[in-house]
Amino acid sequence: MLFLPKPKIMVFFISFQCNLRCRMCYIWAKQDWFKEFSLTEIQNLFNEQLIRNNLEIINITGGEPTLHPGLIEIIKIILKNCIHLKRIDISTNGVNTLQIIDQIEQILTILLPTDVKLTVSISLDGVGGVHEQVRGVPGIFDKIEQTIDGLKELILLYPFFSIGFNMTISKLNYFAIKEIREYAKQKDIGINFTLAAISEIGVESFHLRREFELDQKEKEIVISSLEELSQSQELNSSYIKFLLTWLKTNKRSGNCAFRNGKAFLLEPNGETYVCGNFRDGWVGNVTKEPFGKIYSRIPFTLKHLSHRCLTCASNCYMDIK
């Protein structure tokens, strides 16, 4: 019998609704027809014993999660049920300033009497026009800056709240790494660099790989930029090693929470995966079967999925033991 680890991390695509047209993401193309969880189904899911008793981190993403009309209710359901929850991560594109700040402040108020931390990751793929070209909508950078300033004010009021930038490196912005790093310094906000991965689920970037996949010359420029950052000790050394190893060899170094069987991904219609990228990682649908039954398939699915891990470029909670 294979060892069954406990689910510590959920990556939860609560919606595929999005107000951008990112050139390395296919979500916007399917947002109008993709079925989404009802609040009742979400309540039933988080009432499952394996989830209630084990989840420590929930990453709420999309699409743009702040467009979901039930976001606040979903947070309340999560907090009511997950007795060992330590952190909620929310990804946002930062465009709808007033709506984002209002919803984040509501969430912070709900979290105030708990020990749960909140992190908000703002997607930022360049400064000014570079970011707007990657994200497919002109005129949004000023709005994102307003969101950044508003969220920074909330940090002063809520010490358990933090924000960061995430840059997805691709052929659309590989030349802008140093510029975006300097921008993050000016804003006094940390930045994470992610390689644009080929995903078959969620963002389904495999449809668009020709638009964003780095060629060898572009990889060499990225390597040079990251090595310079590495020498300045501005980024975590083990994570830099992961990025550089993949760029130089197309081989993965390091582990991830999915590979360890401690994470799973949910799409808005209940489809459940033991990997954040590949359809081979499908283990069932939580609206049709109990989560415990679905989760019991994870060790067997991981065993057959292991060859995919060897060249994966994703950084899915690498720091989780």
Predicted TM-score (pTM) of the model is 0.94
List, for the chain, all residue ranges whose pLDDT scores fall below the cut of 50: 1
Q: What is the pLDDT of residue 76?
A: 98
The total domain count for the chain is 1
Q: Does residue 229 lie in a domain region?
A: no
Q: Does residue 16 lie in a domain region?
A: yes
Q: Does residue 177 lie in a domain region?
A: yes
Instruction: For residue 125, give the CATH number of its domain.
Output: 3.20.20.70
The DSSP secondary structure of 188-255, one letter per residue, reads T-EEEEEE----SSTT-GGGGHHHH---HHHHHHHHHHHHHHHHTT-S-HHHHHHHHHHHHHS---S-
Q: What is the pLDDT of residue 147?
A: 98
Q: Does residue 153 lie in a domain region?
A: yes
Q: Does residue 72 lie in a domain region?
A: yes
Helix (H, G, I), strand (E, B) or coil at 68: coil
Q: What is the pLDDT of residue 3?
A: 61
Residue 121, token pair as written in the block: 């990751």
* Beta strands, E only, 32-107: 57-61, 87-92
Q: Does residue 58 lie in a domain region?
A: yes
Q: Does residue 204 lie in a domain region?
A: yes
Contact at 8 Å (CB) between 88 and 38?
A: no
Q: Please name which of 73, 106, 107, 105 lies closest in space to residue 88, comparing C-alpha atoms.
A: 107
Chain centroid to CA 209:
19
Place of tokens 């992961």: 242
Q: Does residue 280 lie in a domain region?
A: yes
Pairwise CA distance, residues 186 & 60, whole Å: 27
Q: What is the pLDDT of residue 1?
A: 44
Q: What is the pLDDT of residue 31?
A: 72
Residue 11, token pair as written in the block: 């990556």
The parent domain of residue 201 ranges over 9-212+259-309
Biggest alpha carbon distance in the chain?
A: 56
Residue 32, token pair as written in the block: 């109008």
SS (H, E, C) 203-219: CCHHHHHHHHCCCHHHH
Contact at 8 Å (CB) between 294 and 41?
A: no
Pairs from 237-243 (Cβ < 8 Å, separation ≥ 24)? 238/318, 239/315, 239/318, 242/315, 242/318, 243/193, 243/195
Q: What is the pLDDT of residue 320?
A: 60
Q: What is the pLDDT of residue 236?
A: 79
What residues contact residue 167 under an 8 Å CB cut-off, 6+ apart?
Answer: 124, 125, 126, 173, 177, 180, 191, 192, 193, 194
Q: Please name which of 211, 298, 320, 255 lies closest in space to residue 2, comparing C-alpha atoms.
A: 298
Question: How does pLDDT run across 268-312, given as a tens digit for each residue?
Answer: 999 999 998 999 999 999 999 999 999 999 888 988 888 888 888
Mean pLDDT of the chain: 92
